[in-house]
A = this chain, B = another copy of it.
Amino acid sequence: MTQIAKAVGVSSATVSNALSGKGRVSPKLVDKIRATAAELGYVPSNAGRALRTGRSNVLGLVLPDISNPLFPQIAQAMETAASNAGYGILIADSRGDVSTQTHAIARLIERGVDGLIIIPRRGTRIGSVNCPVAMVDTPSTPGNTVSADHWEGGEKIARHLLDLGHQNFLFVGHDPASNVQNDRIGGMKSALGNTNHHQTIWVETLVREQGDKTSLGLIDHVNSGVTAIATTSDLHALRVLTELQTAGIKVPDQVSVTGFDDLIFSSVVSPALTTVHMNMTRIAEIAIAALTDEIEATKAHTQKIHDKNGTADQQTVKADTSKVSMELMVRASSGPAVSPATPNPNGETL
Contacts and interface: CB of A to CB of B under 8 A. Distances in A.
A88 B3 CA distance: 31
Interface in A205-241: 212-213, 235, 238-239, 241
A88 B90 contact: yes
Contact of A264 (B48, B79, B89, B235): B235
A244 B74 CA distance: 32
Contacts of A50: 46-47, 50-51
Contacts of A271: 242, 246
A327 interface: no
Please give the count of copies of this chain that the complex contains.
Answer: 2
A69 B110 contact: no
A83 B101 CA distance: 13
Interface string A243-272: 101100000000000000000110111111
A116 to B, nearest CB: 13
Interface in A1-52: 43-48, 50-51
A90 to B, nearest CB: 5
A301 interface: no
Contacts of A88: 90, 107-108, 111
Contact of A79 (B58, B91, B245): B91
A56 B56 CA distance: 11
Interface residues of A, number: 55
A79 B93 contact: yes
A68 interface: yes
A310 to B, nearest CB: 16
Contacts of A265: 69, 235, 238-239, 265
A66 B48 CA distance: 31
A73 interface: yes
A268 B231 CA distance: 14
Given A48-B51, A90-B58, A43 B110 contact: yes
Interface centre among A44, A68, A69 (most CB of B within 10 A): A69
A246 B333 CA distance: 11
Interface of A: 43-48, 50-51, 54, 56-58, 66-69, 71-73, 75-76, 79-80, 83, 88-93, 95, 107-112, 212-213, 235, 238-239, 241-243, 245-246, 264-265, 267-272
Given A47-B112, A245-B270, 10 more contacts: A46-B111, A47-B47, A47-B51, A47-B54, A58-B111, A83-B107, A89-B91, A213-B272, A238-B269, A242-B245
The 7 residue pairs across chains A and B that have the minimum distance between CB atoms: A47-B50, A245-B245, A242-B270, A246-B270, A47-B51, A242-B269, A66-B76
19 contacts: A43-B109, A46-B110, A47-B54, A58-B111, A67-B73, A71-B72, A79-B92, A80-B93, A88-B90, A88-B108, A88-B111, A212-B267, A213-B272, A238-B238, A239-B268, A242-B245, A242-B269, A243-B270, A245-B270
